C-alpha cells in the first residue's frame, strides 16, 4: 500500500478561511469552494483503512465483567444490532475479531485434536486392560474434571475463555491418571482371586492417600497463579483455574463414583481374568489329559 496525500502549501494551511476561499477548476473557470459545498467541522478518522477496496471501521471496547460477559455482548450485537444496521446501511457487513475470532478459528481444531487424542488413549487402555468396556470407566473421569473447572470459574466469577479450554485439555490427562491408578490396583486384586467387592474396596482404600496427595499438590501448585493480580499473569489465570479446580473437585467426586461404576461393570461384563479362567475350565477333558 502506498499512501498518497494531497495538501496545500504549509503557509496556506493555517486557517479555515483559506479553505473556504480555495478555488476549484470547473468548466475552464475557478469557482470558490464555498460556492460548491458547505464546510462544517466534525470528527473524522485519522486514517482510512480499506480491505478489498471496502472501507473498514474497527470498533473496540473494554467490558465490565460484573455487568455483562463478552459472549453475551457479542450475541446481542450479532443477533440484534447487526440486522438493524444492515437495514439502514446497504452493503454493511460485520465480522468478529480479537478473542472471538481466535475462538472461532481454534475451537474446531481443538475439538478435532482432542477427539483424536481420546481415541488414542482409549486404544492404549483397551490394549492394556484387554477390554473394550473397562477403559470407559477410566475416561468417565473427564466429565467430572470439566464439571470441576466450571464450578471453579463460577466460584471466582470468571468467564470461560479459550485459555480455560487449554486448561481443561491438560486436566483430562491428569485426572485420567488418578482413575487409572485405582482401576489398575482393582485388576491386580481380581487377578489374585479376591471377591469383586473386597477387591474394589481394598484398592480404593490403598490408593486414596496417593490420589489425595497428588490432587492437593497439583491444586496448590497452581494456586499462586490463580491468586496473582498482576496484569502480566492475567492470561494464565483461566488456565490455572480450570486445571486446579478441575482436578480438585473432579477427583473428589470421582473417588466416590469410581467404586460404584467398577462394581456395575463387574456385574455386567465380569473381569477379563475371570472370563479366561472360566473358559479354561470349560475345555474338554481330552485336551487336559497327558500324552501317553
Is pLDDT at 280 greater than 60 in this prediction? no
End-to-end CA distance of the chain: 95
pLDDT score, position 45: 66
pLDDT score, position 64: 77
pLDDT digits (tens, 9 = 90+) for 143-180: 888 888 889 888 888 878 888 888 888 888 888 888 88
The DSSP-derived string for 68-88 is --HHHHHHHIIIIIHHHHHHH
Residues 47, 48, 51, CA angle at the centre, nearest 5°?
Answer: 135
CB 226 within 8 A of CB 156: yes
Q: Label residue 205 exposed, middle or buried (CB < 10 Å: 0-12, 13-18, 19+).
A: exposed
pLDDT score, position 41: 79
Tell me which residue of 276, 281, 274, 280 sits closest to 195, measured CA to CA.
Answer: 274
Query: What's the pTM value of the predicted model, to 2 decimals?
Result: 0.60
Give the least confident one: 59-63, 98-102, 128-132, 252-256. 98-102
pLDDT band (50, 70, 90) for residue 278? very low
| Better-predicted residue by pLDDT, 269 or 291 | 269
pLDDT band (50, 70, 90) for residue 207? confident
pLDDT digits (tens, 9 = 90+) for 72-126: 888 888 888 888 888 888 888 887 776 677 777 777 888 888 888 889 888 888 8
Mean pLDDT of 273-291: 47
Give the least confident one: 11-20, 139-148, 272-281. 272-281
pLDDT band (50, 70, 90) for residue 7? confident
Q: Give the Cα separation of 223 and 91 in Å (integer).
A: 50
pLDDT score, position 176: 84
Mean pLDDT of 220-242: 85
Give the least confident one: 58-62, 77-81, 107-111, 253-257. 58-62
pLDDT digits (tens, 9 = 90+) for 67-83: 777 778 888 888 888 88
CA distances from 140 to 46, 49, 144, 199, 256 (A): 56, 51, 7, 20, 13
% of the chain with per-residue pLDDT over 90: 1
Amino acid at each position: 500500500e502506498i499512501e498518497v496525500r494531497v495538501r496545500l502549501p504549509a503557509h496556506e494551511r493555517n486557517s479555515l478561511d483559506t479553505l473556504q476561499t480555495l478555488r476549484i477548476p470547473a468548466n475552464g473557470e475557478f469557482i470558490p469552494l464555498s460556492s460548491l459545498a458547505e464546510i462544517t467541522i466534525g470528527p473524522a478518522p485519522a486514517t482510512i483503512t480499506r480491505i478489498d477496496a471496502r472501507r473498514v471501521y474497527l470498533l473496540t471496547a473494554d467490558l465490565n465483567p460484573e455487568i455483562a460477559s463478552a459472549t453475551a455482548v457479542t450475541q446481542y450485537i450479532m443477533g440484534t444490532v447487526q440486522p438493524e444496521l444492515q437495514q439502514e446501511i446497504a452493503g454493511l457487513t460485520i465480522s468478529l475479531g480479537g478473542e472471538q475470532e481466535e475462538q472461532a478459528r481454534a475451537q474446531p481444531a481443538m475439538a478435532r485434536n482432542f477427539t483424536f487424542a481420546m481415541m488414542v488413549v482409549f486404544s492404549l487402555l483397551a490394549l492394556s486392560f484387554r477390554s473394550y468396556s473397562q477403559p470407559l470407566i477410566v475416561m468417565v473421569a473427564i466429565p467430572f474434571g470439566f464439571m470441576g473447572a466450571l464450578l471453579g470459574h463460577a466460584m471466582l466469577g470468571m468467564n470461560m475463555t479459550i485459555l480455560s479450554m487449554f486448561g481443561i485439555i491438560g486436566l483430562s490427562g491428569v485426572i485420567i491418571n488418578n482413575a487409572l491408578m485405582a482401576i489398575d490396583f482393582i485388576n491386580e486384586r481380581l487377578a489374585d482371586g479376591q471377591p469383586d467387592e473386597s477387591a474394589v474396596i481394598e484398592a480404593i482404600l490403598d490408593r486414596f492417600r496417593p490420589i489425595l496427595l497428588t490432587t492437593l499438590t497439583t491444586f496448590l501448585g497452581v494456586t499462586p497463579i490463580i491468586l496473582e493480580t498482576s496484569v502480566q499473569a492475567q492470561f494464565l489465570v483461566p488456565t490455572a483455574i480450570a486445571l486446579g479446580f478441575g482436578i480438585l473437585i473432579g477427583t473428589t467426586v470421582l473417588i466416590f463414583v469410581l467404586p460404584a461404576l467398577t462394581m456395575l461393570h463387574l456385574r455386567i461384563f465380569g473381569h477379563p481374568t475371570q472370563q479366561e479362567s472360566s473358559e479354561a475350565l470349560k475345555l474338554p477333558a481330552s485336551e487336559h489329559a497327558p500324552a501317553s
